[in-house]
Amino acid sequence: MREYKQFYINGEWVDPVTPNELDVINPATEAVCAHISLGSEEDINRAVAAAKSAFQTFGFTSREERLELLESCIAVYQKRYNDVADAIREEMGAPVGLATTAQAHTGLGHLEQAAKVLKDFQFEEDLGPHRVFKEPIGVCGLITPWNWPVNQIACKVAPALAVGCTMVLKPSEVAPLSAYIWTEILDEAGVPAGVFNMVNGDGAVVGTALSRHPDVDMMSFTGSTRAGTLVAQNAAPTVKRVTQELGGKSPNIILDDADLETAVTGGLLHMYNNTGQSCNAPSRMLVPAAKLAEAEEIAKRVTESVVVGDPTQEATTMGPVVSELQYNKIQGLIQAGIDEGAKLVCGGTGRPDGIDSGYFIRPTVFSGVNNEMTIAREEIFGPVLVMIPYETEEEAIAIANDTPYGLAGYVQSGDIDHARKVATRIRAGNVHLNGASGGYDVPFGGYKQSGNGREWGHHGFTDFLEIKAVEGYAA
């Protein structure tokens, strides 16, 4: 049993102002695996004050000092790598392979990328006799989700540290264990007191207090569109910058000239990765109507190859969803698909055969879906794929863009020029051609209600910087 009841404020582990304990549930077993504390507005006030004070010095450190700090973080992270992976497996039921090779690796990847970018990043630019400076924005409030917990922490904290910001992190109270280890890593790496602070808590109390705090200069939020709008509303009275990475309902257009077996297989396996709990999951598969029956057969075969079960076993390829709340929501949406007349190709409601406990979902494929159905409009955030037939390429593009979201898009074609042409028509922040995926240097973010701003790599620095023009600097 993990006991993580303290917060990290001003370089020390401290007790909450008001005790308020919460059980953390292992979703694979439904057993309590840890105890944390939920913070209060008073805890946030202490953390923000520490960050504000620390900015007076850290905001003026040299590139070399911050690069040395990032390299120290990288070294300690490498030492604690397996601890991070174990925590992610326990807190969200990620299969051991996924937790180790993908989830835990993201923390290291973003730290290494931030150090690489920092080495050559241009913080000054001359425009004739004038000089433009890019300066750290100040105190940053960071709110991160449970689905890729360390990824979302690292892609915010690493660039913020790199440019000289100080920060207060509120990780998800649903999956807070890896955040605690992340904090231990930064502490051991020698991050100066007050530069990084961590307070656990829920959105209603801690998230609200952080978002509306007058001494917080920017909010960086990742989570649902609904919660993101609340963060923006709370931040508005103090006119602080707000960047958001929100929901998605990403289309996967399989063009008529694509290899159907490859395209459907790749799309399904990507959808089922992380039990479908990825904001950029290719959850709407658009298939030429004449090939729909064949695509259904492939999808059924691929789905039956997925091994759902104990995330500690190497053979498992898909674990549970993160919580009872998510389980019930997904079950309701699967039932909605059935009730609205979609064809159930495989899967359905209830747990997979042979599994009696844990928040396990049957990997599910619907076909014959139209884009007005609930399962085509709402972000299910589970292992549920909808197959939508189309007659013409123009219709496919129109369906792809007929969503309030715009985080990602996918195009499959046997002709790369054809895929490129269609990609230019998709209104999304990231479009993947023929199964390609970006690296840590590629900007990540969305259009429309999928958010604003960009994270990762060089572009990830921008949101944490203010622009100052000094006219006549060279006079």
Under 8 Å CB-to-CB from 332, ≥6 apart: which residues?
none
The dihedral of CA 446, 448, 431, 420: what is its sign?
Answer: negative
Q: Do the Cβ atoms of 196 and 70 come closer than 8 Å?
A: no
Using alpha carbons, select from 248, 175, 222, 260 the residue that is nearest to residue 448: 248
**Token pair listed for 360:** 């396990």
- 279 labelled catalytic: yes
Residue 340 falls in the annotated catalytic set: no
* CA–CA separation, 272 and 290 (whole Å): 25
Helix ranges, 350-415 (H):
374-377, 393-401
**Look-up of token digits 């105190």:** 139
Locate the DSSP E strands across 199-308: 218-222, 241-245, 251-254, 284-288
Residue 286 bridge partners (DSSP): 253, 388
DSSP conformation letters of 403-446: SS--SEEEEE-SSHHHHHHHHTT--SSEEEETT----TTS-B--
Partnered with residue 451 across adjacent β-strands are 245
| DSSP code of residue 307 | -
Which is nearest to 73 in space by CA: 107, 117, 118, 119?
107
Q: Which residues pair with 196 in a beta bridge?
A: 167
DSSP per-residue codes, 39-65: --HHHHHHHHHHHHHHHHHHTT--HHH
- Cβ count near 163 (within 10 Å): 25
The residue from 245, 296, 379, 455 that is catalytic is 245
Tokens representing 82 are: 């397996």
Both tokens assigned to 334: 């699967």
Catalytic residue selected from 165, 279, 296, 379: 279
Active site members = 245, 279
